[in-house]
Amino acid sequence: MVKRVVQGLLGIAISALMLWLALRNVDMEEAGEAMQRVAWWVYPAYFVQLTFTHLLRTLRWRLQVDRLTGKRMPLWDALGICAISFAAIFLLPFRLGEFIRPYLATRRGYGRKSVGLAAVALERVLDGLVMTGVLAVILTQMRGQDIPTVIALGGYLALAVFGGALVVFVATYRWREVSMRFWRAVLTPFGHTLADKLLGMLAAFIEGLKSLPTVRDVLVYVGITLLYWLINGLGMWTLAVGMDLNVPVLGAFFVLSCLVVGITIPAGPGNVGNFEYAIQISLAVFGVSHADGAAYGIWTHLFQLMHLLVMCLPFLAMLRMGHLPTESEMNEADPVPAVTPPAP
């Protein structure tokens, strides 16, 4: 309980700092006028785009669960579980909502919780690698522009982290016993609890790779992922056009990539602060004013929140409880076995 309170207070503090950085030079009256400048057609267009990406993300997750459990999940169940989970990820601090999807899948009879965690682990690494990779490529094409140091450094650092994680995970998948023994030896000096948690994450990712047993499955999964992010980037560009901002298509993907890196920073509920700051500093690269950048960030944040709430409302009965599951309830549903070192 104390740990969660400390995490919550830390997240709120980070959000407050990021929000101050994003809005410190903004004339809020001008930002309000910019928000009213959104073309009418943007509302249905952006809603449709968000709905399509929501469906793609759901189909991608269902593919993994189907392969891991050997049980075909009805689309309606998958939509419901993902709708509630996506809203929880967005609203809860420190991405605690990631545990909701495995928990609900288990309650509905689709495998053990560890299966759901495996699917989530693969998603997070691949999504992070794709978008940080996109950011790195875009940065090489924008050398003539004034890129803030925090963006360049953050982008390349995130790419190194996700890329390095992928190399470690794939190597562990290929040489599991040797790799697990090696990483336990490396991590144990930092504490058995930390070592068990990190090795548990590693084991979860390895299980996630088992959800793609054939080349066809891999191609379908990667194809859905690329289409998902392509439509996301085009949606960001559509909004810029609708607000009469001079941002090119490449710029929209640059903003999206910076946003992905920005919201990986642990913060308060709803990613308030780091969401707006990431958009603000990335739009400034293209000469967008502080007021217009703030309006774009606030509008995007609010619209995505409203879309998530609309999508999850029809499925709230799936919870069959008056509250979201606690960590202890999730552990009781299907405790993840402790990762033990391979036999010498």
41 occurs within a structural domain: yes
340 occurs within a structural domain: no
Instruction: Return the percentage of the chain with pLDDT > 70, whole number.
Output: 87
For residue 70, what is the DSSP state? S
pLDDT per residue over 206-221, tens digit each? Answer: 777 777 888 898 899 9
Q: What does the pLDDT average to over 55-62? A: 93
51 occurs within a structural domain: yes
pLDDT per residue over 133-182, tens digit each? Answer: 888 888 887 776 778 887 878 778 888 887 887 788 788 878 888 888 88
What pLDDT does residue 134 have?
86
Q: What does the pLDDT average to over 238-266? A: 90
What are the CA-CA distances from residue 296 to residues 110, 212, 227 (Å)?
40, 38, 23
What pLDDT does residue 113 have?
67
Cα angle 98, 174, 61 (rounded to 5 degrees) comes to: 30
What's the half-sphere exposure (Cβ side, CA atoms, 13 Å) at 317?
3
Computed over every residue of the chain, the mean pLDDT equals 82
CB 159 within 8 A of CB 248: no
213 occurs within a structural domain: yes
What pLDDT does residue 330 have?
46
Which H helix or E strand runs over 259?
helix 249-262
The structure tokens 């998902």 sit at 228
What pLDDT does residue 115 have?
66
> Would you state the structure tokens that stand for residue 242, as one six-digit string?
């609708």
> Would you state the structure tokens that stand for residue 24, as one six-digit string?
């410190």
What pLDDT does residue 94 have?
64
Q: What does the pLDDT average to over 320-325? A: 46
259 occurs within a structural domain: yes
The span from the CA of 79 to the CA of 270, in Å, is 21
Number of structural domains in the chain: 1
163-177, 185-199, 277-291, 316-330 — most confident range: 277-291
343 occurs within a structural domain: no
What pLDDT does residue 114 have?
66
For residue 92, what is the DSSP state? S
What pLDDT does residue 99 have?
77
What pLDDT does residue 344 have?
32
The region of weakest confidence among 176-190, 193-207, 265-279 is 193-207
What pLDDT does residue 318 have?
64
pLDDT per residue over 175-192, tens digit each? Answer: 888 888 888 888 888 887
Q: What does the pLDDT average to over 10-22? A: 87
- Domain span at 294: 2-333
344 occurs within a structural domain: no
The structure tokens 């992928």 sit at 166
38 occurs within a structural domain: yes
- Tell me which of 93 and 69 has the higher pLDDT: 69
Query: Residue 219, Cβ neighbours under 10 Å: how many?
Result: 11
Burial class (CB in 10 A: 0-12, 13-18, 19+), 172: buried
- Say if residue 121's pLDDT is above 80: no
What pLDDT does residue 338 have?
35
> Would you state the structure tokens that stand for residue 343, as one six-digit string?
């036999």
Q: What is the pTM of this model?
A: 0.82
Q: What does the pLDDT average to over 293-320? A: 87
Instruction: Return the percentage of the chain with pLDDT > 90, whole number.
Output: 29
User: Could you tell me how many helices (H) and strands (E) the chain has, helices first?
Assistant: 14, 0
98-102, 142-146, 227-231 — most confident range: 227-231
- Tell me which of 50 and 335 has the higher pLDDT: 50
The span from the CA of 54 to the CA of 6, in Å, is 32
Residue 337 pLDDT class (50, 70, 90 cuts)? very low
- Say if residue 343's pLDDT is above 60: no
Residues in contact with 255: Cβ distance below 8 Å, sequence separation at least 6, in sequence order: 236, 247, 279, 282, 283
- Say if residue 36's pLDDT is above 80: yes
For residue 270, what is the DSSP state? G
What pLDDT does residue 14 have?
86
pLDDT per residue over 69-88, tens digit each? Answer: 888 888 888 898 899 988 88
